[in-house]
Structure formats: C-alpha cells, structure tokens
Amino acid sequence: MLEKFIIHGGKPLKGEVRISGAKNAAVAILPAVLLADSPCVIENLPNISDVSAILNVMQCLGAQIRLINKSSVEINPRHVNSFVVTKEMAEGMRASSYFLGALLGRMNRARVAPPGGCNFGVRPIDQHIKGFEALGAKITFENGMVDAKAEKLSGASVYLDVVSVGATINIMLAAVKAKGLTVIENAAREPHIVDLANFLNSMGANIMGAGTSVIKIRGVERLEGTGYSIIPDQIEAGTYMAAVVAAKGDVLITNVTPKHLESIAAKLKEMGAEITEYDEAVRVVMNRRPRKCNVKTMPHPGFPTDMQPQIATVLAIAEGTSIVTEGVWDNRFRYVDQLTLMGADIQVDGKMAVITGVENLNASPVKAVDLRAGAAMIIAGIMADGKTEIEDIDHIDRGYENVVEKFTSLGADIKRVPIIDSTPVYKQA
C-alpha cells in the first residue's frame, strides 16, 4: 500500500530517543555470515526494509533464518548452495554487491544482479572488480549480471584509486579466507568497516588495521559462527541531532557511540547548538536560530556525505549564507528542488550549494527523492509551520526504524497515512 507522511510542524523537540543498529554495518555483516561454517546470532539489527531485503536474499540462497526478537536473528549458513542473486531477489538495493564478495569468499563463485540503491549519478563498482581480480577471480558481465569465478583466491595487494566503502568491504569479504596476505591500501575508514572487521575477527578471521587506510588480511581456513551486536547508527543519530538544531528543543539521544558523531557535533556546535557527550549518549540543546556554517563532505573521519541533505536543510533557515560542498558523490543535491518548494534559497553549482538562510520554511507537499533526502524532508516538515506531506517514503523506510514513533515521542506531530487513489473509476453500464 502506498503511504505518505503528514507533518504539522513548528513544535520544538523534547525528550529521549534511542538509536537503532547501523544500517550500513548491518548490510555488510549479514552477507558476511555466509562465510561461516556454523550459525551466527546477530543483535542490534535495525528493523528497516534494507535489512529485510538482505535477509530475504540470504534465505533464497539457502540460509536458515530464525528471528529471536525484533532486533536479533539467528542465521545458519550451512546449507547455502546457490551463488545467484537475481534482480528480483536484490530489489534494487545497493548492498546486493556485498553478496559478490561474500559468495566468492564462500564458494569461489558468485553471480549477482548489479547493485541499485539511491541515485546519486553514476555508482561504479570498478574498484570492487579490481580487488576481486587481484585475488584471482575472473569477472564477466552476462545477461545483465556480474559473474565472478575463481579456481582459488590468493592474497594480493590492492590500492584503491578512490576511497570506497563498498570496495573496501567487498575485498575484505573475498580475502578473509583467501590463501596468504591481502593488503588494501587507501582503504575506507568508516565505523562500519571497523565493525565488519571486528565481526569477522570474532569468527576467527585475521584482519588488522581496520579504521586506518591500510588493512591487512591474513587468510584463514575456516570461520566459525559467533554472536555479535552491531554498532549504533551514526547517521540515524546525526539525523535526530540535526532535527533538534532545526526545530529547537532539548533531546537526549541514547545508544550512540559519541566518537562517531564528532564531525557532526562540531558543525552543529558551530551553528549554535549545545552538545554534551556521555558514555553512550549525547544531549543536544538548541534555543536560537542556527548560525551559518560551511560544510564539506569527505570520507571518514570527515563530515559524512550521508548527513549532507539533513545539515543543508538546517542551514536553509540559518542566519547568513553557507556553502555546502559534496566531496563524495557527483550528484547528491536532487533534494534541493524539494526544499525550494518550501521556500529555501539554495543555488547549486556542480558539487557546491550556496544556501542563503531564510527565516523559516513554508509547509508544502514534497517527495523523498532518496533515503537521506527523505530524512531531510522530515526535518524540513518538523520546523516549517503548517502541514507538510512527504511522498515516496519507502526510501525513508529503507534506513530509519520507527521514524514516526521516534519523532512522535519527541513531541513532533507526524503521521503515516495511506495514499488514497482519487482517480475516478467509471463502470460500463
């Protein structure tokens, strides 16, 4: 059923919100379970549609899945015998590419539909392929599928031409049981890469250097099932932090790793927010109009690209003119047209957006053009006076667990409602 969000904005946010497990760690760790010889229990899984999609693929491949509760699952990969992930199975998600690395690592063979996911212009996988080939796999493209096969995989040195999260993860997955030493240079350093390495090491892998730009993987014969709890979602936490700065208020955000939020907190402080760090929580207090600031997105530990639309939305109502530069993707400003409908003054030139702050946004019907753009529309709706309707919210459901319940608990007026098709139906007499 098609649904939309209706938000009556203009209320400050107050209270406490608990952050779920990290989407981008979960979508790497779940396929990694296929490398084990015995069952794994994965905890702190976010209840979002990207995770259900991955679990569905794993079940189609032959894994046995038992839901323990809404955030824990037991997966037995013993009987996985298929190496094919079709387009229908992958449902257009980006992380389907991780089945290439995981299935190659498990059975030296993988045939996977090309990854989908959010549309930010071209999303190449050349660096993933370069890594697989260095390990000894032969990659071909047949009937719209990526086909990877190897007699055996052997450790190798791979230098990434661009810092790629996906390529770093995929090469780790393929290399963890390859013979000998693999070295990934210019590796991505995101928290979810460290989480994947910790998970693989807890199964018996030998990975060093995750979180730095040189990752060394000494191949092991076998990996055993383990119990593992996924890290909190840095971007979900950052989204709630930005929402408080936009709508004003006082919110305690719990179940977070404050270290992962430093680059986001630094910018929000520059905008005038008071942010206090605790062991596993941050409190955000904001009681003024945000000040302008410039933001440039970069791979970790830089400011995350996945927070770019949300921070730009806050800057749309800041005092003064801000410049937001996208340093990761070619085209991540598609949401700007939607903010313009709400009265924002934003000029985009290539990878740069010049944002002249307006007093406030006007409520309007808008669309979630992708996942984080959708989160930005929620922030816009919450701070604008009046009724904002957001369509295409399936993008938001891919990555935000219980977003309506969480914002409602903070005092926002947001509802999920079905879209009723008003096209008249004429019956023949």
Residue from 30, 42, 167, 210 that binds ligand EPZ (CB under 6 A)?
167
Residue from 9, 57, 83, 128 that binds ligand EPZ (CB under 6 A)?
128
Asked if 55 and 33 count as a contact pair (C-beta separation under 8 A), the reply is: no
Which are the catalytic amino acids?
118
Binding-site string for ligand EPZ from residue 349 to residue 388, where x marks contact by CB under 6 A and - marks none? ----------------------xx----------------
Q: What is the CA radius of gyration of the chain?
A: 22
Asked if 173 and 98 count as a contact pair (C-beta separation under 8 A), the reply is: yes
Contact status: 274 vs ligand EPZ (CB under 6 A): no
- Tell me the residue nearest to ligand EPZ as measured from the CB: 166
Contact status: 166 vs ligand EPZ (CB under 6 A): yes
Which residue, 210 or 318, is less far from ligand EPZ as judged by CB? 210
Binding-site string for ligand EPZ from residue 68 to residue 97, where x marks contact by CB under 6 A and - marks none? --------------------------xx--
Q: CA-CA distance, 277 to 285, in Å (whole number)?
A: 12
Binding-site string for ligand EPZ from residue 200 to residue 239, where x marks contact by CB under 6 A and - marks none? ----------------------------------------
Number of residues near ligand EPZ (by CB under 6 A)? 25
Contact status: 126 vs ligand EPZ (CB under 6 A): yes
Contact status: 123 vs ligand EPZ (CB under 6 A): yes
Which residue, 64 or 213, is less far from ligand EPZ as judged by CB? 213
- Nearby residues of 428 by Cβ (< 8 Å), 6 or more positions away: none
Which residue, 305 or 313, is less far from ligand EPZ as judged by CB? 305
Which residue, 51 or 203, is less far from ligand EPZ as judged by CB? 51
For residue 273, the minimal CB distance to ligand EPZ (Å) is: 23
Binding-site string for ligand EPZ from residue 171 to residue 200, where x marks contact by CB under 6 A and - marks none? -----------------x------------
Contact status: 124 vs ligand EPZ (CB under 6 A): yes
* Three-state SS annotation for the chain: CCEEEEEEECCCEEEEEECCECHHHHHHHHHHHHHECCCEEEECCCCCHHHHHHHHHHHHHCCEEEEEECCEEEEECCCCCCCEECHHHHCCCHHHHHHHHHHHHHHCEEEECCCCCCCCCCCCCHHHHHHHHHCCCEEEEECCEEEEECCCCECCEEECCCCCHHHHHHHHHHHCCCECEEEEECCCCCHHHHHHHHHHHHCCCEEECECECEEEEECCCCECCCEEECCECHHHHHHHHHHHHHHCEEEEEECCCHHHHHHHHHHHHHCCCEEEECCCEEEEEECCCCECCCEEECCCCCECHHHHHHHHHHHCCCECEEEEECCCCCCCCCCHHHHHHCCCEEEEECCEEEEECCCCCECCEEECCCHHHHHHHHHHHHHCEEEEEEECCHHHHCCCCCHHHHHHHCCCEEEEEECCCCCCCCCCC
Half-sphere exposure of 32 (CA within 13 A, CB side): 36
Residue from 164, 239, 257, 388 that binds ligand EPZ (CB under 6 A)?
164
Contact status: 307 vs ligand EPZ (CB under 6 A): no
CA distances from 51 to 56, 71, 121, 180, 192 (A): 9, 11, 24, 32, 15
Which residue, 123 or 291, is less far from ligand EPZ as judged by CB? 123
Which residue, 24 or 322, is less far from ligand EPZ as judged by CB? 24
Binding-site string for ligand EPZ from residue 40 to residue 59, where x marks contact by CB under 6 A and - marks none? --------------------
Contact status: 125 vs ligand EPZ (CB under 6 A): yes
Which residue, 95 or 268, is less far from ligand EPZ as judged by CB? 95
Q: Could you give phi then psi for residue 65, rounded to 5 degrees?
A: -120, 130
Which residue, 24 or 263, is less far from ligand EPZ as judged by CB? 24
Interface region with ligand EPZ, contact rule CB under 6 A, candidates 19-27, 143-151, 226-234, 343-351: 19-27
Interface region with ligand EPZ, contact rule CB under 6 A, candidates 136-144, 164-172, 351-359, 416-424: 164-172
Contact status: 395 vs ligand EPZ (CB under 6 A): no
Q: Which residues bind ligand EPZ (CB under 6 A)?
A: 23-24, 27, 94-95, 118, 123-128, 162, 164-167, 188, 305-306, 328-329, 371-372, 399
